[in-house]
Amino acid sequence: MPRPVSLRPAVPALYSLALAAVVLGPLLTSPGYLLLRDAVSTPRSFPTDSALGLTDAAARAVPQDALLAAASSVVDGGLVVTALLTGALWAAGWGSARLVAVLLPTAGLPARLVAATVGVWNPYVAERLLQGHWSLLVGYAALPWTVVAAVAVRRGARSGWPALAVCLGVAGLTPTGALLASVTALAVLAPPGGRSRLVPRLAGAVALAGAVAAPWLVATAVSGGAGDGSDPAGVRAFAARAEPALGTLGSVAGLGGIWNADAVPASRTTVWALVGTAALLLVVACGVPALWRRRRNPVLGVLTALAAVAVLGPALAATGPGLQAGEWAMVHVPGAGLLRDTQKWVAWAVPLYALAAAAGVGTLHARFGGRAGVWATATALTVLLALPDLAWGVGGRVRPVQYPDAWQRVAATVPSGDGDVAVLPAGMFRRFEFSGAAPVLDPAPRMLRADVLQSGELVVAGGTVAGEGRGAAEVERLLLAGAAPADLAAHGVGWVLVEHGTPGDLGDSARTLEQLEPVVTDAALSLYRVPGVAGTPSDDRTAALAAHALWAAVSAGGLVGLLVLRRRVRRREHHGGRRRAREQS
């Protein structure tokens, strides 16, 4: 007689999915596109040179943009981003629960659900959602799974390497995610011990890390995006920020402190920031004694060290000496611009926080008695109430929008290979009536088949941070000066797109536009043709495409390996069940 199927193992996954749905409710219940600060989803995007990281700007969105270009050729791009973001929050909670099952195997289901709550429901997730860093959250979600996979490698499990390949590949959707997961994997694999040999496992992890980082490493090498250094002004602009009633250290210890004061939940702008942080840290502190008793476990030691770096590093980087060191690095260390948003590295603290919160359930149960489920419920509610407005799109601020029809007409008009697109007004950020009050990245680069020139210059509180796109900055200067169309054509510009209804500098561009042929004229957008331009594809596309293929192969190969192993296990279980049935008959 077959055994009844138990749903108990699926509870953490179902619970995490429910939490993700509560957080992302507006995106899941209404059609449209995520367009909020750095988050830009469009119906369709294309594999332009910019998407492959082959412009002179820093390659910060590879292979993310190439993946969206491929996926949106089959499925609407808005659905792709919503699915990836939902999967990220789901995986963050489920992975946290799985991490507890692996490292604290005596912790029961209630404790694992507490860990899942911490993984999904925290200020880091809220602030990165409001900043539009959906792809960073994909890398964040991979962290607990990366630890689980690295532990499997240490233990000599066959599933370890393919699982690690999948984790690093998924995290590698962005350069930051690749660094977060790769450092985590190497840190877990580095301590001696385990059934696998130290040097081979470290070498294997380094090889995987290099493969998943290939898209942005190759793009940076061939385009020179990091060759001139980053603007040192970005260090102060993107330093971690102290929240109300909390110093910088308290803010990052509470998993908050993002540099942009406008990208925080409303509750974190009041004294509730102190209350919520105290509640979260109390939940974590309850489990510290239990983790201390397991201090001989090298993996727990590594996660503790990573958490300490994640909290102390951004706090120290925001001090006077830390800012000076960062400014020096921006000028003298190639690629240091990737590190300037120091608060994003707070993600390394979350796996330890989730473990401590789960361990705290056992501590409370042992000390005060009662049922573990009651203590787990109280702990989870404490975490939820510490950040009440994360629900429903962080208080309704993360919601879909609809593009005016003119965007689709322009997208259908501009071909590839017929010159680049210059945009007006100047700058990368827009404030459209249809997208709400928050500034948003210009959607044109992800909407059009041609490369849209962007300087990368960012306007932040207290000043401007220069970008790396020198060529785009020169074209912008020509437009604002009212240059002749021939001057634009000499820089490879075949189109000028004017986006109406958003503030920004137009300079004397009207003189240039008067000499151009209007192709699309609408209240939302005007598109002009610049004559005499023939686009030339980048000579480096082959190398960039090969790097993206390598990244995809790592992820796909790992997934195939896991499926093959799972099929073998099921086959053995099936044959074992048949053999036992024959023996009993």
Condensed to tens digits (0 to 9), the pLDDT of residues 224-253 reads 655 556 788 889 999 999 999 999 999 999
Arithmetic mean of pLDDT, 336-346: 91
* Domain assignment present for 552: no
Residue 395, domain member (yes or no): yes
pLDDT band for position 420 (cuts 50, 70, 90) = very high
Average pLDDT (45-65) is: 91
Report the C-alpha gap between 405 and 403 in whole angstroms: 6
Residues 247, 172: one domain?
yes
What value does the mean pLDDT take over residues 492-503?
Answer: 96
Residue 222: its pLDDT value, please?
86
Q: Where does a domain end: 529, 555, 578? A: 529
- Interval 157-180: pLDDT, tens: 999 999 999 999 999 999 999 999
Indicate whether 548 belongs to any domain: no
**Residue 440, SS3 per DSSP:** strand
Residue 577 in this model has a pLDDT that exceeds 90: no
Q: 323 and 416, same structural domain?
A: no
Residues 385 and 504 in one domain: no
Alpha carbon dihedral 75, 81, 84, 86, in 10-degree steps, equals -120
**Rounded average pLDDT over 152-161:** 97
Choose one of 529, 550, 577: the last residue of a domain. 529
Q: Are 240 and 296 in a shared domain? A: yes
The total of other beta-carbon atoms located within 10 Å of residue 211's CB is: 22
Q: Once rounded to an integer, what is the mean pLDDT over residues 288-299?
A: 96
* Same domain flag for 386 and 431: no
pLDDT > 90 fraction of the chain, expressed in percent and rounded? 83
**Residue 1 has what pLDDT?**
44
Q: What is the mean pLDDT of residues 333-360?
A: 94
For residue 473, what are the CA distances in angstroms to 93, 195, 466? Answer: 42, 55, 10
> What is the pLDDT averaged over residues 488-511?
96
Q: How far is CA 286 from the centre of its chain?
A: 30
Mean pLDDT of 458-475: 74
**Mean pLDDT for all residues in the chain:** 93
Look at residue 199 and tell me whether its pLDDT is greater than 70.
yes
- Residue 60 CA to residue 331 CA, distance in Å, equals 18
Statement to judge: residues 476 and 328 lie in one domain: no
Pick 317 or 570 by higher pLDDT: 317
* Range of lowest pLDDT (119-123, 380-384, 461-465, 501-505): 461-465
Residue 86's identity, in one-letter code, is T
Residue 442 belongs to domain spanning: 404-529
Say what the pLDDT of residue 373 is: 94
Question: What would the mean pLDDT of 399-414 be, rounded to a whole number?
Answer: 97
pTM, to two decimals: 0.96
User: Is 70 exceeded by the pLDDT of residue 142?
Assistant: yes
Could you tell me if 230 and 95 lie in one domain?
yes
| Amino acid, single-letter form, for residue 35 | L
Q: Residue 469's pLDDT is what?
A: 72
Backbone angles phi, psi at 440, to 5 degrees: -135, 150
Question: Would 545 be classed as within a structural domain?
Answer: no
Say if residue 5's pLDDT is above 80.
no
pLDDT number for residue 194:
94
* Residue 489 domain-assigned (yes or no): yes
Mean pLDDT of 295-304: 97
Decide which of 354, 372, 400 is a domain's last residue.
400
User: Can you read off the two tokens belonging to residue 508?
Assistant: 């004397």
Report the pLDDT value the prediction gives residue 245, as an integer from 0 to 100.
93
Question: Is residue 189 included in any domain, yes or no?
Answer: yes
Long-range CB contacts (within 8 A, 24+) of 242-248 = 243/268, 243/269, 243/273, 243/277, 244/268, 244/269, 244/270, 244/271, 244/273, 244/274, 245/271, 245/273, 245/274, 246/273, 246/274, 246/277, 247/315, 248/314, 248/315, 248/318
467 plus 508 within the same structural domain: yes
In a domain, 362, yes or no: yes
364 and 274 co-located in one domain = yes
State how far Cα 223 lies from the chain centre: 23
Give residue 581's pLDDT band: very low, low, confident or very high (50, 70, 90).
Answer: low
Q: Is residue 73 assigned to a domain?
A: yes
Mean pLDDT of 199-228: 89
Based on the fold, state whether residues 133 and 265 are members of the same structural domain.
yes
Predicted pLDDT at 576: 65
For residues 386 and 288, membership in a common domain is answered with yes
What pLDDT was estimated at residue 195?
A: 94
In the chain, count H helices and then E strands: 25, 11
> What pLDDT was estimated at residue 456?
72
Strand-pair category, 400-401 with 458-460: unpaired
The count of structural domains within the chain is 2
Q: Are residues 248 and 233 in the same domain?
A: yes
What pLDDT score was predicted for residue 455? 80
